[in-house]
Amino acid sequence: MAETYRFATYNTELARKGPGLLLRDLARGEDPQITAVLGVLSHANADVIALQGIDYDLTGAALTRLAKAAGYPHAFALRPNTGLATGLDMDGDGLLGGPRDAQGYGRFTGQGGMAVLSRYPVLADQVQDLSGILWEDIPGALLPEVNGAPFPSAEARAAQRLSTTGHWVVPIVLPEGRVDLMVFHASPPVFDGPEDRNGRRNHDEIRLWQLLLDGVVGTPPPGPFVLAGDANLDPVDGQGRKQAIRDLLADPRLQNTAPESARGTDTVDWTDPLPGDLRVSYVLPSTHWRITGQQVVWPGDESRIADMVTTASRHRLVWVDLAIPALPE
């Protein structure tokens, strides 16, 4: 009988307002949000989990502490594009040095990055990092323009990376062999102007995965894979260019899992009525896998873990249980 593995994604919203503050809060051990996030991780009991909204530091000290507290022997992170300075006016407001002038929104380098926690070894030296790909270099890019000219400038367009946070293909060695975890955190398709810079970028960040699987950019995974992350786009509700996520969910190389809670398939508790609760976090396995279970960790108000889940993050952890009979070495 095939072994079952639980893959998950979770936007922890552990980003802090300055560098080193997350490490400080972890070291003190008194922060109620961190305690709640650790409680959610323990409750979900995932074997492999993609995290978003977690600050990156050069030595990995904060992630190491979090992984140890959560009971994961393996942790991985690269420097994200969030907060990475460009020296240019990237949002067209006529000013320099703001959080929107970075490659991805951020007050400092690494704010609100990504990470992977795993019970199984990560082949860090074989990770494929697509985060440096320039937006203008992908085929069919929906680049923003105003009056037929690049927005906000030709210079900004030439420097702009596609990934707001990052796109990584992370090899993980299960007892049966290798699988690839494809992780990302796309830009929200809002907070811009009529040029729809963020909506267009969000669309292309999601589409990048299909370009990878097509072999147009990067190297497709050689075997079974799982795509996990925060797409910041609902296929039905809210703002954004819906076709991107609809096309991804309909891709025959993926399985469109639809984990549910008492709230249905929504994964984030945003302000009502707008934007309202939306489905933005996804765990999408390749067709190699057999799905044996799935859930959005969003308990009813009467649940003993309801307060913990609410304190941890506006986002809800999503997990999918997967089984596969044999994997390549």
Which pLDDT value is given to residue 271? 83
Which pLDDT value is given to residue 272? 76
Tell me whether residue 47 is in a domain: yes
Tell me whether residue 329 is in a domain: no
One-letter amino acid at 41 equals L
Tell me whether residue 197 is in a domain: yes
What's this model's pTM, rounded to 2 decimal places? Answer: 0.96
Tell me whether residue 33 is in a domain: yes
Among candidates 119, 123, 102, which has minimal Cα distance to 111? 102
Tell me whether residue 93 is in a domain: yes
Total structural domains in the chain?
Answer: 1
Q: Which residues of 233-255 are buried (b: 16+ CB within 10 A; e: fewer)?
A: bbbeebbbbbebbeebbebebbb
Tens-digit pLDDT profile for residues 300-310: 988 999 999 99
Which pLDDT value is given to residue 1? 55
Q: Which residues of 214-229 are buried (b: 16+ CB within 10 A; e: fewer)?
A: eeebbebbebbbbbbb
One-letter amino acid at 26 equals L
**CATH no. for residue 18?**
3.60.10.10
Q: Which domain holds residue 302?
A: 4-323
**Count of other CB atoms within 10 angstroms of residue 269:** 17
Which pLDDT value is given to residue 327? 56
Which pLDDT value is given to residue 275? 85
Ranges of the chain whose pLDDT falls below 50: none
